[in-house]
C-alpha cells in the first residue's frame, strides 16, 4: 500500500482525508498534536516521513483566533519548513499543502476584492498572522519545488463545513457566502495525490459561488458536489 503522511490527521480535514485515502487503497500515517506529535519538532516530522511517498500537510493553527501570533508562525511556518525538509530528506514525490482562501486578504473585513469571482491569480494581501503564515508557507512550497523538483500542490479552501455545521449555517452568515464541504475537500486531497502534476500549483476550493475554482477543475478534474440548499 502506498504510504502517505497526513499531518493534522485528527482535525476536520485530516480525518476526512484519511478516510477517503484509506478507502482508495492508501496507507495514511497519522500525525497530530492531539496524539502527541508536533510539527514544530523537526526530528519527529523527519521520523514520521520515512517510507512515505507523499505528504498531506493539514496540521496547523487554523485561524487567527486559535493561537497567539508567535504560536501561529511557529506551527504554520516553521512546521511547514520541517515538513518540506523531511520530504526532501526522504525523497518524497509529492506534498499536498493546505493553505487557505484567506491568503488574498479578504477575511473578516481585512480587505475587499476589486472584482468577482476571486481567482487564483489575485494578489496575496493577507497581512494578519494566520493569512501571512499561509502566504509564507505557499512561498516555501514554491521555492522547494524550484530547488528540489518535489511537486507541491497547494489547496486553498474557503470556509470548510461538514453536514452538522452546514445544517446550522446560513449563506448570509459566511463571508461572501463561500463554503466548501469537507467531503469535497477530502476528494480534492485524493485527486491532488493521484493526478499527474509536476511542479508547483495553487488552487482555490469552493462550492458554487464567488470564488473561481477553474484551476482545480482543470488540473484535478475536481468539482464541488455540495452547495447551499435553497
Ligand X SMILES: NC(=O)c1ccc[n+]([C@@H]2O[C@H](COP(=O)([O-])OP(=O)(O)OC[C@H]3O[C@@H](n4cnc5c(N)ncnc54)[C@H](O)[C@@H]3O)[C@@H](O)[C@H]2O)c1
Which residue, 11 or 105, is less far from ligand X as judged by CB? 11
Closer to ligand X by CB, 149 or 208: give it: 208
Residues in the interface with ligand X (CB under 6 A) total 26
Contact pick of 4, 5, 6, 13 for ligand X (by CB under 6 A): 13
Give the nearest distance from C-beta 32 to ligand X in angstroms: 5
Q: Looking at beta carbons only, is 62 or 216 nearer to ligand X?
A: 62
CB nearer ligand X, residue 198 or residue 227: 227
Q: Is 10 in the site for ligand X (CB under 6 A)?
A: yes
Helix (H) or strand (E) holding 30: strand 26-31
11 binds ligand X (CB under 6 A): yes
Cis peptide upstream of residue 117 (ω within 30 degrees of 0): yes
User: What are phi and psi for residue 126, nearest 5 degrees?
Assistant: -60, 130
User: Binding mask 32-61 vs ligand X (x if CB under 6 A, - otherwise)?
Assistant: xxx--xxxx-----------------xxxx
Q: Which residues of 1-26 are buried (b: 16+ CB within 10 A; e: fewer)?
A: eeebbbbbbbbbbbbbbbebbeeeeb
* Buried/exposed code over 57-78 (b: 16+ C-beta within 10 A; e: otherwise): bbbbbbebeebeeeebbbbbbb
* d(C-alpha 162, C-alpha 183), whole Å: 7
**Piece of the chain touching ligand X by CB under 6 A; list 6-14, 18-26, 114-122, 220-228:** 6-14
Per CB under 6 A, contacts with ligand X among 153-172 are 157, 159-160
Bridge pairing between strands 200-205 and 151-157? parallel
What's the grid cell of residue 36?
Answer: 502527541
Binding flags for ligand X, 63-82, as an x/- string (CB under 6 A):
------------x---x---
Least distance CB 8 / ligand X (angstroms): 3
Q: Which residue, judged by CB position, is nearest to ligand X in the bound state? A: 11
Residue 221 to residues 68, 117, 135, 191, 213: CA-CA distances in angstroms?
37, 19, 25, 8, 10
Shortest Cβ 100–ligand X spacing (Å): 4
Q: Is 215 in the site for ligand X (CB under 6 A)?
A: no
Closest CA to 210 of 104, 123, 115, 135: 115
The reply to whether 152 sits near ligand X by the rule CB under 6 A is: no
Least separation in angstroms between residue 201's CB and ligand X is: 17
176 dihedral zone (left: phi>0; alpha: psi -120 to 50; beta): left
Binding residues (CB under 6 A) for ligand X: these are 7-8, 10-14, 32-34, 37-40, 58-62, 75, 79, 98, 100, 157, 159-160
Amino acid at each position: 500500500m502506498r504510504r502517505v503522511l497526513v499531518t493534522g490527521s485528527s482535525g476536520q480535514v485530516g480525518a476526512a482525508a484519511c478516510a477517503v485515502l484509506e478507502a482508495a487503497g492508501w496507507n495514511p500515517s497519522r500525525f497530530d498534536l492531539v496524539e502527541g506529535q508536533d510539527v514544530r519538532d523537526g526530528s519527529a516530522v523527519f521520523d514520521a516521513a520515512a517510507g512515505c511517498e507523499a505528504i498531506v500537510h493539514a496540521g496547523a493553527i487554523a485561524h487567527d483566533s486559535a493561537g497567539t501570533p508567535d504560536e501561529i508562525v511557529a506551527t504554520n511556518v516553521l512546521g511547514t519548513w520541517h515538513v518540506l525538509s523531511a520530504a526532501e530528506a526522504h525523497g518524497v514525490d509529492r506534498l499536498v499543502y493546505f493553505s487557505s482562501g484567506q491568503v488574498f486578504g479578504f477575511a473578516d473585513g481585512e480587505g475587499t476584492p476589486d472584482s468577482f469571482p476571486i481567482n487564483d491569480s489575485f494578489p496575496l494581501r493577507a497581512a494578519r498572522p494566520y493569512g501571512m503564515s499561509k502566504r509564507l508557507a505557499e512561498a516555501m512550497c514554491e521555492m522547494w519545488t524550484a530547488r528540489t523538483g518535489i511537486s507541491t500542490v497547494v489547496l486553498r479552501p474557503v470556509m470548510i463545513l461538514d453536514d452538522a455545521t452546514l445544517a446550522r449555517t446560513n449563506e448570509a452568515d459566511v463571508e461572501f457566502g463561500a463554503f466548501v464541504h469537507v467531503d469535497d475537500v477530502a476528494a480534492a486531497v485524493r485527486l491532488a495525490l493521484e493526478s499527474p502534476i509536476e511542479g508547483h500549483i495553487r488552487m482555490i476550493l469552493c462550492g458554487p459561488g464567488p470564488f473561481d475554482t477553474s484551476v482545480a477543475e482543470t488540473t484535478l478534474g475536481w468539482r464541488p458536489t455540495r452547495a447551499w440548499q435553497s
